[in-house]
Amino acid sequence: MRLRTLEDLPDPAGKRVFVRVDFNVPLDGGRVADDLRIRSTLPTLNELLDRGASLVLASHLGRPKGQVVEKYRLAPLADRLAELLGREVSAVSDVVGEEAQAVCGHVEPGEVVLLENLRFDPREEQNDAGFAGELADLADLYVDDAFGAAHRAHASVVALAERLPSVAGRLLQREVEVLSRLLEGPDEPYVAVLGGAKVSDKLGPIAALVERVDALLIGGAMAFTFLAADGVEVGKSLVEPDRFDDVRRARTLARERGALIQLPEDVVVAPEVAADAQRQTVGVDAIPRDQLGLDIGPRTVEEFARTLADAKTILWNGPMGVFELEPFSAGTRGVARAVAGARAFTVVGGGDSLLAVKRLGLEGSFDHLSTGGGASLEYLEGRELPGIRVLEED
């Protein structure tokens, strides 16, 4: 099904365009710590401004659960956006209240308004029609560029899109183009690298990926559930025994299809999760009972890199170890470099993975950094995302 895009938008000149953005970014002492999600919306915002529109922007931030929570106000985001756009951005202090109505009632072409955190209103997460109606009163046209929220049937994502002439912005369009390519026709060999904390967070994508990839490389804490399900003694490593059946099923499926599941051969272990803990590298068959695995070892990095070097398409989601602590970051660094260096179409997703990429200074080394953590994974499972469905032609 075709996604409606900015080409399909009625002429926005002199109109107020409501743009749903995903500015759910990490803040550090009231300042934006990482502005990737803000920068990623600039093509859409600039295009609309160039076409003579005024913009009413709205986002969520954090989980304020339907109440005003001071630390989740969007004012710091307005400051950063103003710097990036090179023009003033007025942050209003409510979502659909008097101030929002007054400001949006008088907005002129070229002006940019940022509404307050959508999730300060409980009706946002309820996909409430009345709330969507009040949002619709603030603008004439609707553009969705919030890929990170596309898997949520919330009022600003679904009900509002049903009320106004609605299309996808450039970021959402690009995310769908890239991820649908992974889903439908990736150049082969297609290799996925998965890591991160919990296998239970990513069982859906694992099940979907073993149906499609040529190789699945598993690192991070989730590798220990795979190893333990095989009877390997993994000491105090993070294991989810209630997922043994799921990972065994994934392995059986992969075997039947002739897809390779590659697990770590060696790991970096320590008695506790601490930067100054005494660490050592051991084979996975020699993990001491009183220690836990916190990174993949150098032999594993080499083996993973060998598989990645032959790939034509690579998806990477999830760090290979506790990369936040320098002594356990080598595995993530090694895999990041191998992915970046491969002659393949490369896609990276996941909030922590993107943070790792940024710390390594490798942001420009991949074909696509997906801004939607949960949304990217749900899309890659082949699930229909409500925020995308509503923008497709019937």
Compose the 172-201 pattern: x for residues touching ligand ADP by CB under 6 A, - for all others: -----------------------xxx---x
Q: Which one, 124 or 352, has the nearer CB to Mg ion?
A: 352
Catalytic residue status for 198 = yes
Does 235 contact ligand ADP by CB under 6 A? no
- Least gap, CB of 197 to Mg ion (angstroms): 7
**Are the C-beta atoms of 308 and 339 separated by less than 8 Å?**
yes
Residue 293 near which of ligand ADP, Mg ion, none (CB within 5-8 Å, type-dependent): ligand ADP
Q: Which one, 195 or 297, has the nearer CB to ligand ADP?
A: 195
Q: Which of 148, 293, 321, 351 is catalytic?
A: 351
Catalytic residue status for 219 = no
Q: How many Cβ atoms from other residues are within 10 Å of residue 153's Cβ? A: 17
Does 264 contact ligand ADP by CB under 6 A? no
Stretch that binds Mg ion, among 75-83, 119-127, 161-169, 343-351 (CB under 5 A): 343-351
- Least gap, CB of 91 to ligand ADP (angstroms): 28
- Least gap, CB of 346 to ligand ADP (angstroms): 15
Phi, psi of 32 (to 5 degrees): -70, 120
Cis omega (within 30 of 0) for bond into 241: no
Residues 308-327 interacting with ligand ADP (rule: CB under 6 A): 317-319, 321-322, 324
Strands (E), the chain: 16-20, 27-28, 31-32, 54-58, 89-91, 112-114, 141-144, 166-168, 190-194, 215-218, 260-262, 266-270, 280-283, 292-296, 313-317, 345-349, 368-369
Report the distance separating Cα 302 and Cα 336, nearest Å: 12
- Least gap, CB of 371 to ligand ADP (angstroms): 12
Structure-token pair, residue 156: 């600003």
Report the distance separating Cα 192 and Cα 308, nearest Å: 9
Does 352 contact Mg ion by CB under 5 A? yes
- Least gap, CB of 351 to Mg ion (angstroms): 4
**Residue 244 to residues 168, 212, 226, 288, 363, Cα–Cα distance (Å):** 40, 21, 7, 21, 35
Report the distance separating Cα 24 and Cα 21, nearest Å: 9
- Least gap, CB of 105 to ligand ADP (angstroms): 40
Q: Which one, 48 or 377, has the nearer CB to ligand ADP?
A: 377
* Residue keyed to tokens 């209630």: 242
Residues ≥6 apart with Cβ < 8 Å to 56: 16, 17, 18, 19, 104, 107, 113, 115, 138, 139
Catalytic residue status for 312 = no
Stretch that binds Mg ion, among 59-67, 184-192, 327-335, 350-358 (CB under 5 A): 350-358
Q: Which of 163, 198, 312, 337 is catalytic?
A: 198
Q: Which one, 12 or 293, has the nearer CB to ligand ADP?
A: 293
Among 6, 21, 172, 294, binds ligand ADP (CB under 6 A): 294
Q: Which one, 219 or 351, has the nearer CB to Mg ion?
A: 351
Torsion sign, CA atoms 198, 203, 207, 213: negative
Residues in contact with ligand ADP by the rule CB under 6 A: 195-197, 201, 220-221, 238, 293-294, 317-319, 321-322, 324, 350-353, 373
Q: Give the active site residues.
A: 37, 198, 351, 374
